[in-house]
Chain A
């Protein structure tokens, strides 16, 4: 990283110094801002989760936006948030219209918790061990030393990106662009690690997963831009390298639920292993272009060929087996992508606009389909599964092909009033899904009018129907996934895993209706009022199980008001309602799985209702002939998710879940006073309060015995109340 930065700086400096000798100085302009801020915050990771603002303390405010030029040569420097973990710097130099080169540095932070706890030693690395004397148990209650073993850990990730690039215009029509970026991402996140023989009776430990990624990206393009046509040839390369390829942990659970599972448990416990994201690479070549014809007609097209591949060495089925049992030793995973796009647009007469497009996108998965006779969750006594067991599964190289045609026509029917009609058809062909092919037809129309000078209005409506070409057939997946020997052991009517009545919503038959209206009025030259309303309704009409329907409605009111030149205000309110219903079926495998799976008395339903309301208010006041500016923003956001249940007579009567709630208040007030022509001082204050109720994590302390078979990790509360005060000086050059 340092070498890259140094090299880039030298190149930029050289580019600057050479022309500087030959061109007259013209000057430096821009702004530099320096200051400081103090924060008072209760113990929460959530506040400024992307800023890295310290919890309680002080940080430096530093920013710059500078431009220096001599003749046609320039040097730009931009910096933001220099005192924080999300700082960004960029320096760019070159000759206007001819060439430029840049060097940048950019940091990101994502905080996920600040009070999580884990019993493991070695958190942040690839090997997690339990402390000496840790008492293992069949459940968390039996782990008598668990609470005393817990250690604090912060879950957060930081990205550091350095990038550099060159853009050069060759002659007057061709342009070359090359850029390179390296990103380091480091930190810790959480990952569930399960042990246990039965799928339903496994025990999980939420692990601190190390994040140590290096990603390189190269982007290059060469383009020609003529009077009537242009062509661009591009290449994109992305190389992902994970520095920690596995995560091994000593299992705290003494799981002896199965007759062959780790019984007797070794005296020193046993270790299980995850593989972490594999190193991979992505190449993509593209050729795109467009040609202009008479009658305002343009034809443009794009063709892309891509390849995503990874060939990591495979780990053994379990920590107690060897790679000799595997059908192959490396992943040999590859997906090739092909994309073709063609678009024709024309405005043959002033009132008419026509557009038509065709899109083809194909992913071709070349990963070998092979039988893996796997060992479940590192069963230490396990060996490869029998070929006629349901642990003998084929890996499925899933891929799909999209074909889409869209046609649009827009015509000005009155003054400033256009009517648009559209039609799309999309087909998706998929391998290893329950439906091989779906087709979706979409019809749309929109009326847009500015007929009345003080009113702009839009009405739009669309209807689409997605339908499978063939019958929904779970056997397509089942037969491809399980071994032939296993399938032969199953009764004909028991050859399924997912309930045959389930319709997966991404491929299920669906009717979608969308409509909306928005009106913007200008009742007075000082005021604008806008109303927006939109609805999307999905009906999964043939889904006995799965999502039944979904309705999303959104309302917005926007008001902008500027009664006098020195005052401007804006206010908005948005409410989003999202209601959806799902149906499931609870069933077991005995006495007859086919009968049980079809028993509608075991149906249950869940009705989800999300309501989100957001209010925003902003205010700017300029005084003393614009020497003093006072501005303020207020935001209030509230959400409520209610989930209610129904159940058939075979099931225990359910009770509803408590509502999920979030509430955010945020207000800031900033004053800027121009001391002199060159100096501006500012004071700012921000207040934020956030509360949430989440039944999924509230009351589930890390490492608690609340869950018998999960050692939890996440222990932070998101709620916070934060005060931030800042002072800054801006110098204009």
Chain B
């Protein structure tokens, strides 16, 4: 039998402790650097490295100059939050450059507008790599929700900010997304989830009442599956605080991972369950008498109509499966 690899060989506990101290160390260093009082300024892109032909270009710094040729773009851009902040209350030198904050120095472009090498295009199929395009956004946005972007699954999969966001026009009510409907940004790639939203039991994403970012942080949420919080359950508890407990009688798989039994993207079974009771419950439970019994078509009305199959199935009686706080709730019947 193949030996399982482990990062906990001899002295594993010590290794673990080193990791934990490393985390704290990085936090302390970060805090130190911050407190040291480095003047906040954007992490400016080295435009000459990105596109050597603009190495000696100068900043124009006048939006009206850009408007002479790009009037429609700028008119739409002014309605975006970027347009408003950059124009009305720029927070640093970079934002004062307006268009050039994201497109680099355009002095040469103004002089010779048709020369492609003098402009820096961030378009999806443009010459810049995903990492180069993203570095433009990270000048200001490597913080808060985007703090863990680098090294995240999306970043390592060559997803560009512009794959989901469109900055030149306010197409969505928030977050400058590529589409009015926020979930369209995610379902470009996540086709299976798009289909699951159409299933008979679903959360109100289809209706637009919540969106994918209600649970996920696409920029690198440090939880599993890019969730906003550390665990699946902590995410679920943000709307279902009544399930949080802790309970006197815990149901371990429910405490550990709601997704053991539920598929939050949609199913054809009640309560977003992955299957119907009793068969879902019998995936783990096989005890004497009724627990291990077989429930088939024989147990429908007209035959031996069984309460373990019909109605709520097992949940007809074991109704507190998320955990019970009743002293007699050991079997989740109270």
Contact = CB atoms under 8 A, between A and B. Distances in A.
The answer to whether A and B belong to the same complex is yes
A471 B282 CA distance: 21
A397 interface: yes
B279 A710 contact: no
B51 interface: no
Interface stretch (B61-69, B115-123, B284-292): B284-292
Interface in A265-309: 273-275, 277-278, 280, 282, 287-292, 296, 298-304, 306, 308-309
Interface in A37-74: 46, 48, 50-51, 65, 67, 69, 71-72, 74
Interface string B273-309: 0011001001111111110111011101100011101
Contact of B156 (A282, A340, A410, A635): A410
B207 interface: yes
Interface stretch (B97-105, B106-114, B255-263): B255-263
A499 B287 contact: yes
B2 to A, nearest CB: 8
Contacts of A490: none
Given A97-B91, A204-B307, A547-B283, A199 B147 contact: no
Interface in A330-376: 331, 333-335, 337, 339-345, 347, 350, 353, 355-361, 363, 365, 367, 372, 374-376
Contacts of B4: 439, 441, 465, 467
The size bracket of the interface on B is 35 or more
A173 B40 contact: yes
A289 B286 contact: no
The size bracket of the interface on A is 35 or more
Contact of B294 (A342, A410, A604, A692): A604
A510 interface: no
Nearest to B33: A229
A569 interface: no
Nearest to B260: A506
Given A587-B288, A608-B275, A612-B199, A335 B246 contact: yes
Given A225-B40, A326-B327, A662-B268, A502 B297 contact: no
Contacts, number: 487
A586 B293 contact: yes
Interface string B194-237: 11101110001011010000000000001000000011001001
Contact of A554 (B43, B192, B246): B192
Contact of A226 (B40, B253, B255): B40
Interface string A576-616: 10000010111111000100110000001010101010101
A448 B290 contact: no
Contact of A639 (B79, B200, B253): B200
Interface of chain B: mostly helix, strand, loop or mixed? loop
B16 A433 contact: no
Interface of chain A: mostly helix, strand, loop or mixed? strand
A656 interface: yes
Contacts of B16: 360, 403
A228 B309 CA distance: 60
Contact of A614 (B38, B195, B252): B195
B325 to A, nearest CB: 5
B311 A714 contact: yes
Interface in B153-187: 155-158, 173
Interface stretch (A4-12, A314-322, A677-685): A314-322
B191 A556 contact: yes
B192 A574 contact: yes
A585 B286 contact: yes
A192 B319 contact: yes
Nearest to B140: A225
A224 B34 contact: yes
A324 B156 CA distance: 60
A657 B300 contact: yes
Nearest to B312: A192
Contacts of B131: 296, 347, 350, 353
B294 A654 contact: yes
A635 B327 CA distance: 49
A314 B131 CA distance: 57
A232 B298 contact: no
Contacts of A433: 252
B244 A308 contact: yes
A384 to B, nearest CB: 10
Contact of B316 (A192, A289, A344): A192
Contact of A372 (B42, B275, B292, B330): B330
A40 to B, nearest CB: 20
Contacts of A622: none
B6 A425 contact: yes
B55 interface: no
23 contacts: A97-B95, A192-B317, A194-B316, A199-B289, A238-B244, A280-B246, A282-B241, A298-B151, A302-B23, A310-B246, A317-B327, A333-B248, A353-B131, A361-B230, A554-B192, A584-B282, A588-B288, A589-B288, A645-B297, A662-B199, A690-B200, A706-B305, A708-B305
Closest 5 CB pairs of A and B: A345-B151, A173-B40, A289-B30, A355-B151, A654-B296
Given A335-B246, A377-B328, A586-B294, 12 more contacts: A172-B39, A172-B92, A226-B34, A242-B242, A282-B244, A300-B150, A365-B246, A376-B331, A378-B328, A585-B286, A589-B288, A614-B198
